[in-house]
Amino acid sequence: MSKVTAKYQITIPVTVRKEMGIVPGTDVDIRKKGQKYVLVVNPIETIKKKWRGKFKGKPTTMEYMDEVRGKVN
């Protein structure tokens, strides 16, 4: 069990850090799932993996902007 410090920080136990691959600099998030809170490691990478490949064959942002605004030389 971890205690909250005066600065509202907690220490993640060694076994959890090793199991989840948490090292200094790792991005983590805390999310509510039902009645519990869950620690999510590297949430940005999780989002990237979820959306990776979803827009293959679609126009890039610049191509879309050229289409909407007209090509700027």
First to last CA, the chain: 61
pLDDT value, residue 34: 96
- Mind listing the pLDDT tens digit for each residue in 30-73? 999 999 999 988 767 767 777 777 778 888 888 888 888 887 66
pTM: 0.52
What is the residue extent of each domain of the chain?
Answer: 24-69
Diameter over CA atoms, the chain: 61
* Between 35 and 18, residue with greater pLDDT: 35
Whole-angstrom Cα distance, residue 48 to residue 54? 10
pLDDT value, residue 27: 84
pLDDT value, residue 73: 65
